[in-house]
């Protein structure tokens, strides 16, 4: 059930991004995390040309809106040491209890990744 849900989410993301970005193909590694403000779901992917990506969704858990959510994607080696960093943006307004997609092109791949929200701008009621 969870795998089917993730495949559906990946398909919806691919369709959403397809109009303005190079086609993507999802790969196997996926994860999620939650804090008191955001829930993030992500998975590894690649463009049709083979360039590595992290693609996913960021969900605003609160009722007040935010904008321009910024995420950090860290590429990890087998020991958990950071060997690369990328920044992703979920541009525009993210209303309360809603979600939007993001993608982060990777300069370096590894056996593990860590995705975290590093900032956002207040919008409407703000933080």
Q: According to the model, what pLDDT value does residue 62 have?
A: 94
Q: What is the mean pLDDT of residues 6-10?
A: 46
Its pTM surpasses 0.85: no
Q: Which domains does the chain have, with CATH numbers?
A: 2-122 (2.60.40)
Instruction: List b or e across 64-103, with b for residues whose CB sees 16 or more CB atoms inside 10 angstroms.
Output: ebbeebbbbbbbeeeeeeeeeebebebeeebeeeebbbbb
Which of 8-17, 45-54, 83-92 is predicted with the least confidence, judged by mean pLDDT? Answer: 8-17
């Amino acid at each position: 059930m969870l795998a089917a849900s993730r495949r559906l989410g990946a398909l919806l993301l691919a369709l959403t991004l397809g109009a303005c970005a190079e086609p993507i193909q999802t790969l196997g590694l996926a994860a999620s995390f939650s804090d008191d403000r955001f829930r993030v779901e992500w998975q590894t992917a690649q463009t049709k040309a083979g360039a590595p990506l992290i693609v996913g969704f960021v969900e605003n858990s609160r009722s007040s809106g935010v904008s321009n959510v910024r995420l950090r994607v860290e590429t990890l080696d087998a020991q958990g040491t950071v060997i690369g960093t990328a920044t992703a943006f979920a541009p525009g307004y993210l209303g309360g209890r809603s979600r939007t997609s993001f993608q982060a092109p990777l300069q370096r791949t590894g056996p593990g990744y860590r995705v975290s929200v590093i900032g956002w701008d207040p919008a409407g009621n703000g933080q």
